[in-house]
Structure 1
């Protein structure tokens, strides 16, 4: 018999905030300045990884002479400059959070970003009420390793298969599935081509009634 869901873990970038749109602009501008193109192939390889690892992929892909640290500084400046104009919540996020709260289910954020970044993103789009955040600062192994979601289940005090994970990327889904969580994929136009093997459900948005069905929400 399937266990009831007792907690919900949300990825952030691309799941609750359209920050992947911002990253696309940042990657495009960063490489334009260096005479290179930010291709879909490169973007998909970088997506869902901690910043330093993602930038290492970019450097290796184009043979850049920049250090990871220099690109992090430049990228952060570009990110917030662009974010102020286009950053917003993903479709149906607020309504879904209200439904989760109404059911009395605790919720958290599990992101590959830093705590400082997560706090700022959620502040910018006006989302709060999370019991805790698991960030790159809290784990040794980031997604697609299961550690982030295993740690989330531990902090909730639930078994991994009693936790619902909501993810937009292939790496994020691999992390949730490997942890043993009930994992829902929410692909967007950045991640539509990713491999979501093992996901319990692939949904268009958080408005999909099948997600509420998993949570036994009315």
Structure 2
């Protein structure tokens, strides 16, 4: 039997024909229906792989080695941040003499060692990447981690899952600035407004929204509230359940 015509399918086709990508449209009964993105930009740490605890532990260890024990608030502040940004913060906190460059190197080395020991995928991560490939939606990896860490994680995720990857230092500015997302969207040949960014941290959400992306937040360690153009879900598995087994993203 022929598949019934759905309101959201027709609306998505109209928007695509007009090259429009609004945040959402509405069914006649008032339900919000997300429109179809043309590309998906994925954060790595805390979103696809459970590395935020490893990063936090690396930051705590480096700080402790220089005479400071991170408070809970200070630990939360490093989530989603680059090694360079975190090193600047630690240099202000640590009482023992050190340099920002030295701290940055220690942070990267400690984090890389933890990642090389093995990483776990976040719930739904593998199914999401498989789904994007099946649907033919181009995906980019947009990370605040150094290239050495990104390449190590890609051995677990599979580099073939992404059309392009952007690591720390490969754009003019890092998250929370929009530059990494702008670069990833440009490499996909898409305007950022046509892309869905998937993030787990407030820092990453700020970067994606500043770039003009629609955002799906799956908080890992810090809370994130819904906002216009931003949906919040418990994890990637919840998102996949919403899409259903045969639905297009």
For this structure pair, what is the TM-score category when the shorter chain's length is used for normalisation? 0.7 to 0.9
Moved more, 140-149 or 76-85: 76-85
Match of 2:151 among 119, 131, 134: 119
Match of 1:15 among 47, 55, 63: 47
TM-score calculated relative to the size of structure 1? 0.87
- How far apart are the structure 1 equivalents of 2:66 and 2:94? 10
- Return closer, same or farther for 1:180/1:210 CA change in 2, 3 Å cut-off: farther
1:31-66 CA-to-partner distances (Å, cap 9, x unmatched) read 333332122211222222221111111111334421
2:191 is aligned with 1:159: yes
Contact 2:216 2:232 in 1 (8 A): yes
Pairwise CA RMSD: 2.5
Contact 1:6 1:158 in 2 (8 A): yes
Say which one has the larger Rg. 2
- Return closer, same or farther for 1:139/1:72 CA change in 2, 3 Å cut-off: same
Match of 1:50 in 2: 82
- How far apart are the structure 2 equivalents of 1:203 and 1:7? 19
Structure 2 counterparts to residues 1-218 of structure 1, below 5 A: 3=21, 4-85=36-117, 87-123=119-155, 125-129=156-160, 130-188=162-220, 190-192=221-223, 194=224, 197-198=227-228, 200-209=230-239, 213=243, 217=248
Deviation at 1:13, TM superposition (A): 1.0
Extract structure 1 runs of 4+ deviating beyond 6 A.
none
Gaps of 5+ in 1: none
1:66-87 CA-to-partner distances (Å, cap 9, x unmatched) read 1122223333343344334452
The number of residues matched between the two structures is 215
Contact 1:170 1:195 in 2 (8 A): no
